[in-house]
Amino acid sequence: MRIVNVCGARPNFMKVAPLMAAYRAHPRIEPLLVHTGQHYDANMSRLFFDELGIPRPDVNLEVGSGSHAAQTAEIMKRFEPVVAESRPDVVLVVGDVNSTIACALVARKMGVAVAHVEAGLRSFDETMPEEINRKLTDAISHLLFVTEQSGMDNLAREGVPAERVHFVGNVMVDTLVRHLEQARGRDALRQLDLEPNHYAVLTLHRPSNVDSAATLTRLFDALRVIQGELPVVFPVHPRTRHQLDAMKPAGRLADMRNLRLVEPQGYLDFLCLLASARLVLTDSGGIQEETTCLRVPCLTLRENTERPATCSLGSNQLVGTDPDRILAGYERAMSGALPCQRPPLWDGHAADRIAAILSKWPDRPAVPAGLQTRSEVR
């Protein structure tokens, strides 16, 4: 069984890493790795391959940046000959980035089965490009691997046949579990002159937050107060860096002496920073999950989350972008321990479960007409 695994952007790399490792226990599986090149800076891509021990990609499509249409189309154009040449049984995509939907669509139209890891998550906010990517990818996938109960409920409501859906846990947690001890040994706190449990970590990259000067201004109003009490370390995503340069809120930032802008961090240093933080503020999806695993309070600077288990079970609070709500969430987070537990199956073995299912697939003859795969047709 040949499986082409697709990764393209930073949050994909920690998801494919445990899968590539788990396949080794299944001689029937022959994995290939394709990097679309959606992210290409060394500290957004190569560093993650090195630190997580991900094999060198068999193919790099080197698509780079562009508008949504241009980037998605370019990935599709360059991925199609890879599928034609390698003739996989399954194309496996992860997450919700443009590379995910682009490669799923190419595979599906070429009669190749699609597996989607992290299926079923929904923010119910279609202004998010990722929400569109998620819904479309799930709609054309043959195998849907789900991280949390809400994903199972969403797919059932959307009418996805239950036999295609597998509740397996969270591959990103596999990577966290595997690397936590090593990360704790890193020098990141000393390098930034931070004391354990006495600093906050901030990340921002959602277009809805960083592409709007008004929203950024509101966020910085809240951060001004927080950094007065707690140093805030802010690894700046390239998109955010462009916007900060363009909008020049530098005047607003210059007098926040405890807000420390740093370059995007590698996986291990960032995990080291998260693990000892008093608080995390973010608009990322993955960081909501990582803080829940680490039992570190998280304030999500968005109005919604596609990962509700991080709020109902974990350490996450949705606080939006209004300074008063952010500061109220901050007070709650600082006032004492919030109840926090790991969602079911976030145990470090999700990739093993996925590899085991893939190694036996297809294990039943009754795939509905129109969903036949190349391996069944042969």
The verdict on 11 binding ligand UD1 (CB under 6 A) reads yes
Pick from 19, 51, 292: nearest CA to 174: 19
Please say which residue, 70 or 225, places its beta carbon nearer to ligand UD1: 70
Judge contact between 327 and 333, C-beta under 8 A: no
Please say which residue, 178 or 205, places its beta carbon nearer to ligand UD1: 205
| Bridge partners (DSSP) listed for residue 279 | 200
Judge contact between 234 and 256, C-beta under 8 A: no
Per-residue binding string, ligand UD1, 89-118, x by CB under 6 A, is: -------xxx--------------------
According to CB under 6 A, which residues from 338 to 367 bind ligand UD1?
Answer: none
CA angle 200, 202, 208 (to 5 degrees): 150
Residue 72 C-beta: closest distance to ligand UD1, Å? 9
Please say which residue, 280 or 333, places its beta carbon nearer to ligand UD1: 280
Please say which residue, 74 or 352, places its beta carbon nearer to ligand UD1: 74
Match 């669509």 to its residue by tokens.
105
How distant, in Å, are the alpha carbons of 93, 122, 163, 377 from that of 105?
Answer: 11, 19, 21, 19
The verdict on 154 binding ligand UD1 (CB under 6 A) reads no
Residue 268 C-beta: closest distance to ligand UD1, Å? 17
The verdict on 243 binding ligand UD1 (CB under 6 A) reads no
Alpha-carbon torsion, ordered 299, 151, 207, 57, to 10 deg: 110
| Bridge partners (DSSP) listed for residue 317 | 299
Active-site residue, from 35, 142, 166, 205:
205
In this chain, which of 51, 74, 89, 130 binds ligand UD1, going by CB under 6 A? 130
Output phi, psi for 34, to 5 deg: -115, 125
Residue 196 C-beta: closest distance to ligand UD1, Å? 27
Residue 42 C-beta: closest distance to ligand UD1, Å? 8
Per-residue binding string, ligand UD1, 17-56, x by CB under 6 A, is: ---------------------xxxx--x------------
Paired tokens of 270: 């960032």
Please say which residue, 288 or 317, places its beta carbon nearer to ligand UD1: 288
Match 């990818």 to its residue by tokens.
137
The verdict on 141 binding ligand UD1 (CB under 6 A) reads no
Paired tokens of 222: 């809240």
Say if residue 362 is preceded by a cis peptide, omega within 30 of 0: yes
Q: Across the beta sheet with 30-35, what order do the strands follow? A: 59-60, 30-35, 2-7, 90-94, 113-119, 143-146, 165-167
The verdict on 122 binding ligand UD1 (CB under 6 A) reads no
The verdict on 324 binding ligand UD1 (CB under 6 A) reads no
According to CB under 6 A, which residues from 246 to 305 bind ligand UD1?
Answer: none
Instruction: Verify whether residue 205 is a known catalytic residue.
Output: yes
- Which active-site residues does the annotation give? 205
Summarize as ranges the residues that interact with ligand UD1 (CB under 6 A).
Answer: 9-11, 38-41, 44, 65, 96-98, 129-130, 205, 237-239, 242
